[in-house]
Structure formats: C-alpha cells, structure tokens
Structure 1
Amino acid sequence: MIGLEDVYKVVAAMVPLYVALMLGYGSVKWWKIFTPDQCDAINRLVCYFTLPLFTFEFTAHADPFKWDYMFIAADVVSKVIIVVVLALWAKCSTKGSYAWSITSFSLCTLTNSLVVGVPLVKAMYGSLGVDLVIQGSVFQAIVWLTSLLFVLEMRRTGLDISSTPSPVEGDSPARTSIDPTAKVDLEGRMEMIVSSSRPAFWSLMRRVWMKLAMNPNSYACIVGIAWAFIANRWHFEMPGIMDGCILIMSKAGTGTAMFSMGMFMALQEKLIACGPTLTVFGMVLRFIAGPAAMAIGSIALGLRGDVLRVAIIQAALPQSITSFIYAKEYGLHADVLSTAVIFGMIVSFPVLLAYYAILEFVH
C-alpha cells in the first residue's frame, strides 16, 4: 500500500528535475545568458557526453544473469505490436508518415524508468518491482534507444543525400547510378525515389553505419552490458579510478538533459510548444497505447500476478528524457517530445495510481 512517505519519495525524485528545467528556462528567457547557438551546443554536450556516460554507468552495473527473460520477451512483443501498427498506419493512411511513425514510437514505448519508476514501483511492489523496472530500463537503452538512434540517423542521412545537387552532364555513370533524389513534403515525409535500388540502399546504409560508429550513444550501452556480463560471470569489480572517471560526467546526465529542455522551451513562442491537440495525442500514446500493447504482450506470454502488474505499470511511466535529446539533435518533433516529458511527469502520478488500483483486481 502506498503511504505518504512513498508519495514524498516520488515527489523528491521529480522536483530536482523541474528545478533543472526552470534554471535552463530562466537562463534564456529571463537572464539572457545563452544564445540559440549556445543552446544547441549545450544539447550536443548532453547528447554526446553526459547521456552516453550515464547510459554506460547504469548498464554496466546490471546483472543480466538474474533477469526475468519472459518479462523482457513480453516487452519485445509489445514493441513489435506498436511497430506493426505504426508501419500499417504510415503505409495505408493518407495522414501517415515515416517521421510521425518515429515520434509515435517514442511516445508509445520509451519511458523514464529510473527517476520516477524506481521509487514509485518500489512503493507498490517492493524489490520485485524495482528489479523488473531496472531490467526494462537497461533493455530499453540497449535495444530500443539504439534502434531509435538508427532510424533517426538513417532519416537525417537520407535527407542529407537528397539535398545533394543532382548530377550534371559529364558526371561519371557510377556516380549517377547511386545518387537518389527525394521529395520532402511539409510534414517531413521523405520518399526516396531511386533508379537503381540496391546501390542506393547500400550507399545509404554505409553512411549511416559510419556515423553511428562515431556516435558514443550507439555503443555506450553495448560496452556497458558487455562489461556487466563479464563482471558478473567472473566476479570482477570496476577499478575505482575508472568508476570515478565515468561518474563525474554521468551524474550530470539527467540534470543537464532537463536543463537543455528548459532552454528549448524558452526559445519557443508558446509554453506548450506543440499546441493542445498534439499534447493530448502524446498523452494518449504514452498512458494508453503503450500500456495496452504491453498488456497484450504480457498476457500472450503468460505473465501473471505482480509481474504482469509491474509490466503494465512500467509501460505507463512518464516519457523518456533521452527521447527529447535525440529529437532535438536530429530535428524531429522536439516540441512534441518536450511537452510529453514535462506534462507526462505532472500527470503520471495520478494516472499510475489509477492503474495500480485497477490492476489489484487482475489475477
């Protein structure tokens, strides 16, 4: 049962995030400390330094030998359901688009498990809930955030290629056979039109993989989970000097991400940057579509009892802060993601309490 002390722990975990947010907002809106270019630079600092080290730090301290792999499998099934639905929507609906499918996937699936989820689920389900939420968070970093990074990089690389001037007379045949042209509409939809599909595809993939190889976000979690397997299998401990080097930057990860979000808000004309319609859309995906998909995946794989309840609760946690940082860096609906993070944390507590009360009747 959740008591006042548990409520205080959740509030105590959330308030520092909003303090960092307001400091970022005030530094631009009121005190005029940073210019827009400097705000972009700070977001890149967060994206390429503090967040990768934060990801490596909590991933490296996981114990994958104690994971509940049926819980992980249910998470995979739920994400596959969402991907299939979004792919059909993008393909078959006149309003569907590749860009909005990426953002909708983020809104449906990526959660802020560590900051809000751990204290809340601990109050609800004890150590079992904490273990499962941490497992889900580590798996999210390894698979789903890495997948998001891949599709964002592929989209940006495709747009970069499409903006390359078309070949002129005298260019070599080899060059003209692999340069795609693209049509980009006002909603951000990109349709690649290629005359020779295989060379164009592999040219695109080669550039994407080269960029990902230089992006610390793409391998921080991989290196972290590799260390976790080695350390727990042979009982190694990370050297203190290495741990200290990582912690000095990783501890700033969440705070600097919220600070960057506050600066982004200050640069917008309206407080609710994306407008009320998209705000409601984001809340529906975050707190209804995501948990519904997780419930289907969990029940299909036979999860029962508290494991089923935790699976649904963790799918209804607030929006991942990292998803905003990526959206800002790659220029894709950062206004929608920032609003989802800010308002999601505000409304999450009553929504999660409602889920908790309802799930008590589920056996």
Structure 2
Amino acid sequence: MNTQRWSVDNNVDKEESYPQLSQAADLLKNNEVVAFPTETVYGLGGNAENDDAVKKIFEAKGRPSDNPLIIHIADKSQLDAFVKEVPKKAKALMDKFWPGPLTLIFNMKEGVLSNYATAGLSTVAVRMPDHPVALSLLEKTNLPIAAPSANRSGRPSPTTADHVWEDLNGRIAGLVDGGPTGVGVESTVLDCTDELPVILRPGGITKEQLEGEIGKVSVDPALADEGQAPKSPGMKYRHYAPDAPLYLVDGPKEEIQRLVDEKKQEGLSVGVLTTAENEWFYRADYIFACGRREQLDTVASSLYEALRHFNNTDADIIFSEMFPNEGVGQAIMNRLMKAAGHRVISK
C-alpha cells in the first residue's frame, strides 16, 4: 500500500493546509485509515461506524481485535448519536477538560458504532482532542473516528510523524504530519457509568485535577495488580516496550550504576533511562535523559521518544530510574511498568 504523507501547519486557518486535510478527510470518509496528531500522541483513525474501516486499524497495528478503541469527536453534540446519556459529573468534566487529554466512558446506544470499535461492549470511550489539526480533520469528516495510537502493537507510542512512518509506512492510507505532540502520554480514561467515577488509565489529566471538579474519584485496582485484567482501551496487552529488555530500578542511582557495571563486565551493551539532573552520573554505553525530575510533565512529554531512542542502538539491556507515583507521575510509572513487563529490581 502507498502511504500518502501530508505536512500541515498547526495554524489550520492557513490556506495551504486546506487541501491536505481535505484529502485525509476524504480517505476517512471512504473507510480508509489515516494517522494524525493529537495533543497526546499520534492516533490511527478510522470510521467508527464501519466494520471494514475499524478492521483496517487492527490489521495495520497488528493489534488483537478484543481491545476496545477510543472514539474521537470534534463537537459534544456528536455524543447524542451513540451515547445513551451524559451523567452530570461527566458534563462538568467535559466543560472543564474538553477539548483535552481526558477520555470518558459512557453507556452506549446500540446499532450505531461498529462492534469492532467497542469490542462488543455496551460502553464506549470518547474524547475530544485538543489539537487544531485533529479537530479540523474531525470536523471535515463529521464522523466519530476510532483512533488508538498510531504504532505497531506493543511498541512505544508515536509522538512524531517520523515514529508513525517508521512503524506504519505501507500499512495505512495516509499520515498527516502536524509536528511533535505535546503531552506525550495518552489521555486519562475515566469510567463515568457508575455514581463513583473510576480511573481506568492514568494520563494527561491527574486524579487530583478530576477530584477538584467532581469530588471523589476511584482508581481501577488492576492498575496496581498485575494479576487483574485492566478495563481500559489500550491497557490489556504488553505495551510501550523498546526492543531490548527494560528493568525498573527501585533504588538510588548508585544501584543502577552497580547494575550497569555488572552487565558491562558480562560483555553486554547497556542503556540507562534517566533525567537531566542525573545524566552526568552514569557510565553506560547509552544514556538518554527524558526531561527533568523536578518537572514530571517534561518526563511525560519525552518518555516515548526515550524508549524509541534505544531501538536505534545496539543496547542489550536497559535500566530505568523510577518516578514519584503521584500527579502525572502515575501515568509515567504506569507506562514504564507496562514497557518493562512489570520487571522491577529492588535494592
């Protein structure tokens, strides 16, 4: 398959962006799949009302079809077509955080969306992305667009168009290049189908921010228990992993250096995932600093870039620092634990 690639200006009011976005929208309306930028990561979009379009998403990603997808919309009024009701708490969150990195789960009307998009569930996950290119593209289609991250299943999520091209060139119809994304980790997923909302996936909107708007919010026990099956889209299978095995080290940087020295003596090529504050400390074959520990949002925005960085090296093993499990740190640690397959070395 020939994958078309269009570079567009994030100022979509510029006339030069019109024809590229119209071409991408036409492909989506013809039930092809197209990758596009959001404020979190690049998404791989397909018409959520059409079985064939959704199947193409799974085929391109190599993703099991029992994993539900998040539906992207450009206007709240689109919910009326496929959502039974919008609870009061959900409305408050939509008013505060939409457009933005927050996905809400609702009870769904039957017979509108493809069963492949919802994995046959009676609920649907929906968000409105806070990115001018994404919103313009969604408006041009006037469709609910199912869009998981635009990467091969299991690999780190894409935060640049080049990441998408590396994974999916020749497997999808089009790629809208709108430059690097901002937040870096995927949206927070919140189940609003019961009186007490439940976080199914931590992301760009923190638990503290949610509770500041609607009061108490619970957290899915599966996020802390590897033995329980997660309920959120994109969380069922091993995810975000670099090619080399990744280990999280629950201990001081001196312990990481000890492990590095040990593996180098065994003849292995070793990588370290750290932050700018500690980059100077390590003696390893490959060192990548993703942001600053004092500013966890910078770690989140460059985390996937860091994980992909090691795929361009001959690293045999990677050790990573751990981060505070609070605020956006919850999302960072969630993604790192998934990338490491829950492998943690404790001092």
TM range (shorter): under 0.3
Give the TM-score of the pair, scaled to structure 1: 0.27
Q: Higher relative CO (CA 8 A, sep ≥ 6), structure 1 or 2?
A: 1
Q: Judging by fraction of residues, say which structure has more helix.
A: 1
Greater strand proportion: 2
Could you say which structure has the larger radius of gyration?
1
